[in-house]
Amino acid sequence: MRKVGLIAVLVALAGMAWYFIAGASTATNSSASMSTPQGNGDAQQDLIVVTPWELTAMDPSKSGFIFQRLQIAETLVDAKQNAELQPMLAQSWSSNDKGDVWTFVLRDDVVFHDGSPLTADDVVKSLQVALTKPTALESAAISNIKAIDSKTVEITLDKPLMSFPAYLSHATSIILASASFDENNEVTKLLGTGPYYVTKFEPPQKIEQKAFADYWGEKAKIQDITYLANSRSETRTLLAQSKPNYLVFTLDSASLTRLQQDPNLQVQSKSLARTIEYKVNADNPLFRDVAVRQALSDAIDRQGLARSVMHAENAAAAQILPPIFKDWQIKTPTQTPDPAAIKQRLLDAGFTVDSNGMLQKNGKPFKFTLRTFSDRPELPIIATALQAQWKKIGVDVDVSVGNFSDIPAGHQDGTLEMGLYARNYGMTPDPVGSLIEDFDPNGSDWGVMNWQNAALSKDLLTLETTKGNDVATKKRVSQIIFDERPVVPVVYYQQNAAAHKSLKGLEIDGLERNFYLNKLSW
C-alpha cells in the first residue's frame, strides 16, 4: 500500500507545481478571456478541448480515436447513442446470405479536406493500410477489399461475421484521402472528411483545426478549435475553471463537487460503455471453485463504490456489459453485502479461520495480489476499497499499483493472480467482437485467464455467424458470465466533462466516439 500513498503524494505535488508555475499567466489570460462576450452566437470565439490523451503519430492505428472524436476523420459506419449502427460515409451496406461478403455503397456528396471526392479507391486504400497495422480489423478475418465501381466497395471475409459493419465504425478504420499516404503507406497529411480539418499538428500535445465549409453533414458553428493533451487530472480541473473557452474531458470524479459548485460552469457526467472489472487466474487454487469467485463478487459494496468513487448512483455494475447494450441485460439479484454470511459460505466450501479470523485452507492463507495501475485515477482507489471489503470476509489482499502493461504481462507469463482494469466494450458498437476476444478458450490479455466454457463459446459463435438480432442468445451469454464470474464487473466508468455555461450543445457520447464539436456554439 506504500505504492498507492506514494502515487497520491506525487500527483498532488505535480498539481501544486503546475498551479504555481502557471498561476500568474493563467490569471492574466483568464481575466482577458472572461471579458470576451459570450452567448451571442459568436462563431469566431475559439474553443480549447482538453483531454489526457497524447498524440503519438498521424497513424490512425495509434491516434485514430482522437481524430475520430475531434471529427477530423470519419468511418463508413457510425453508431447512435443506443449503440445502433447508422450510415456515415457509407449510405448503405448488405451481405450475402452466408455473411462473408459485404458490399458498402458510398455517399455521393462527400469531399475530403483537399477538395477531392470520396471514392471507393480511397476507402480501399485506407482499409488496406489499416489491415497492415494493429487495428480492430485484424479480428475480422478480411481476405480481400476491392472497388466494384467509384462508389461501391466489396469486402470478402475468411469466415461469416454478422457484426462486421460494427468493425468499420472503429476509430482505426477511419477513411483518409489516398493523398494522405506516402509511398511507404505512412500518413503524412491528415486529409479526412469531417466537419473540421487540421491546420497544425504538433505531437504529443496539440492539434489546431478549423471548420470545413464543404462538409457533407451538419456544419460546425465554432470556427477554430485547439486540442490539448494534459495527463494530470488536477491540471485539467484547474483549466476548466481558468477560462470560459475550455472544454475539459475525463475529470477526476473527486473534483466534480468542486466544479459543480462553480456558478460559471456546466458539468456533465455519463456512464460509458466501459466497465471497471477484475479478472482472476482460474488456474490458481484459490479461484478454481466458482463458489469462491461468487463469494468474492458478492462481498463487494458496488453501490457504495458508485457513490463514493464514481460519484454516480447508477454506476454500480452487476453485470459485465453496461446498460447501453440493452439487448444483453439480464435480471440480477440486488443485495447488500453480508460479510458474516459470505464468510460462512467460504467456511462451508472448505476454508478454516486462523487465530486472527482470516481464512486459510490446508494451512495456507487465503491471500493474493491484486494488480492495477494509476493511468485511471479511480483504479487504485477501487483496489484499496476491495482490499478493505474482502478483509471483512477474512481474505488478505495485497494491492500492487504498477504500469498499464503489468496485467497483460502477468497474463502472458502466468504470474497474474487478479487484475483490476477498465475494459471498453464500445470500441465497436456491437460487443460481440470484444466478447469473442475476451472469452476465447485460449484467453486474452484483457479477458479470461485459464478458464473456458463450451456453452459460452457455442453461443458466441452463433452470434458471430447468424443473421438477425438473437436477444435470447445474448442474454444467455450474459447469464453464463454472471454465474461463472471469471471476469467480474465492479462499476461502470463515468465520463465527466466541464465547460463554461455559455457553451451550448454540450453532449457526452457514451460510446466514446465523438465530442460532437460541430453541434457546439457560443
**Chain position carrying cell 465504425:** 169
Average pLDDT over residues 59-75: 97
Which of the four pLDDT bands, split at 50, 70 and 90, describes residue 29? Answer: very low
Return the SS3 of 80: coil
**DSSP H helical ranges for 309-431:** 339-348, 378-391, 406-413
Q: Which of 311, 206, 313, 204 is nearest to 252 (CA)?
A: 311
CA pair distance 374, 12, nearest whole angstrom: 13
**Rounded to the nearest 10 degrees, what angle do helices 60-69 and 120-131 cross at?**
130
> What is the distance, to the nearest Å, from the Cα of residue 113 to the centroid of all Cα atoms in its chain?
28
Which three three-digit cell numbers place residue 333? 439479484
**pLDDT digits over 333-354, tens only?**
987 999 999 999 999 999 999 9
3-state secondary structure of 271: strand
pTM for the predicted model, two decimal places: 0.84
- Could you tell me if 466 and 284 are in contact, meaning their C-beta atoms sit under 8 angstroms apart? no
pLDDT digits 0-9 by tens, 259-287: 999 999 999 999 899 999 999 999 999 99
DSSP state of 220: P
- In this structure, what C-alpha cell is assigned to residue 25? 499567466
For residue 20, is pLDDT > 80? no
Mean pLDDT estimate for the chain: 91
HSE-CB at 231 with a 13 A cutoff on CA atoms is 9
Using alpha carbons, select from 215, 217, 193 the residue that is nearest to residue 86.
217
Residue 32 has pLDDT above 50, yes or no: no
**pLDDT recorded at residue 39:** 41
> Among 431, 485, 436, 480, which Cα is nearest to 461's?
436
Return d(Cα 187, Cα 176) in angstroms, integer. Answer: 9
Q: Cβ(370)–Cβ(418) under 8 Å?
A: yes
Residue 44 sits at φ, ψ, to 5 deg, of: -85, -15
Q: How confident is the model at residue 377, as a pLDDT? A: 82
Q: What is the pLDDT of residue 43?
A: 59
What b/e readout covers 15-47, taking b as 16+ CB neighbours within 10 angstroms?
Answer: beebeeeeeeebeeeeeebeeeebeeebeebbb
Given a cut of 80, is residue 11 above it in pLDDT? Answer: no
Q: Which three cell numbers stand for residue 298?
A: 458478492
At residue 9, the pLDDT reads 39
Q: Is the pLDDT of residue 445 over 50?
A: yes
For the chain, the straight-line distance linking the first and the last C-alpha, in angstroms and rounded, comes to: 46
Is residue 94 within a helix (H) or strand (E), and if so which, with residue range? strand 90-95
Q: Averaged over 213-228, what is the pLDDT?
A: 98
